[in-house]
Amino acid sequence: MDTITIHDSTFRIFLQPGEIHDAVERIARQLNNDLHDKDVIFLVILNGSFLFAADLLRNYHNSCRISFVKISSYEGITNEGRIKELIGINEILEDKTVVIVEDIVDTGNTLDCVINQIKEKHPAELKIVTLLLKPEAYEYPHKIDYIGFRIPNRFVVGYGLDYDGFGRNMTGIYSLVE
């Protein structure tokens, strides 16, 4: 399928399933090499990362823990501004290598929030994996250690990513036709 329609919007194929598969295997190889001697816990940021994480981690062959967290849709207002709460971290992260698994980093606001809340739990080190990065939109200095694709600043759906809840089950990634 070269184009899909969700509500009134048209999306055109941007990354084929095979290209995604190759990138996922490449990242898994890097993780296998880099983390084999570490006490690793993967923190998968739901919902969008569910397919990426499943494909990535079935190719990760070292001992590890895997847990799933979610950003609450509720935004609290604090002195620092708007923060979203990270829910579902019940694990002890102290002295562990924590690997955040994200589907997409756009401005980086979400990632920044996640990083700050994880750092409060004193991990030994923090690594970040994202399938997609929009470099033109990214506003933070945090190093992103593993990147599947750098993509233009356009809205994308598929392979876990949604538009209004739809499109997550598509095996390719599609970009909005403006």
Binding site for ligand XMP (CB under 6 A): 48, 104-111, 155-157, 161-162
Nearest 5°: the CA angle 26, 174, 166 is: 110
Residues 53-112 binding Mg ion (CB under 5 A) are 103
Count of residues that bind Mg ion according to CB under 5 A = 2
15 binds, among Mg ion, ligand XMP, none (CB under 5 to 8 A by kind): none
How far apart are CB 41 and ligand XMP at their closest, in Å?
20
CB closer to Mg ion, 38 vs 137 = 137
What is the Cα 113 distance to its own chain's centre?
13
Tell me: does residue 48 bind Mg ion (CB under 5 A): yes
Q: CB–CB of 159/171 below 8 Å?
A: yes
Q: How far apart are CA 45 and CA 35, in angstroms?
A: 20
CB closer to Mg ion, 38 vs 168 = 168
98 binds, among Mg ion, ligand XMP, none (CB under 5 to 8 A by kind): none
CB closer to ligand XMP, 38 vs 168 = 168
Q: How far apart are CA 168 and CA 176, in angstroms?
A: 14
162 binds, among Mg ion, ligand XMP, none (CB under 5 to 8 A by kind): ligand XMP
Listed in sequence order, the residues at least 6 apart from 120 whose beta carbon sits closer than 8 Å to its beta carbon are none
How far apart are CB 75 and ligand XMP at their closest, in Å?
12
HEC per residue, 70-138: EEEEEEEEECCEEEEEEECCCCCCCCCEEEEEEEEECCCHHHHHHHHHHHCCCCCEEEEEEEEECCCCC
How far apart are CB 134 and ligand XMP at their closest, in Å?
7
Residue type present at position 66: I
How far apart are CB 125 and ligand XMP at their closest, in Å?
22
Give the single-character DSSP code of 57.
H
108 binds, among ligand XMP, Mg ion, none (CB under 5 to 8 A by kind): ligand XMP
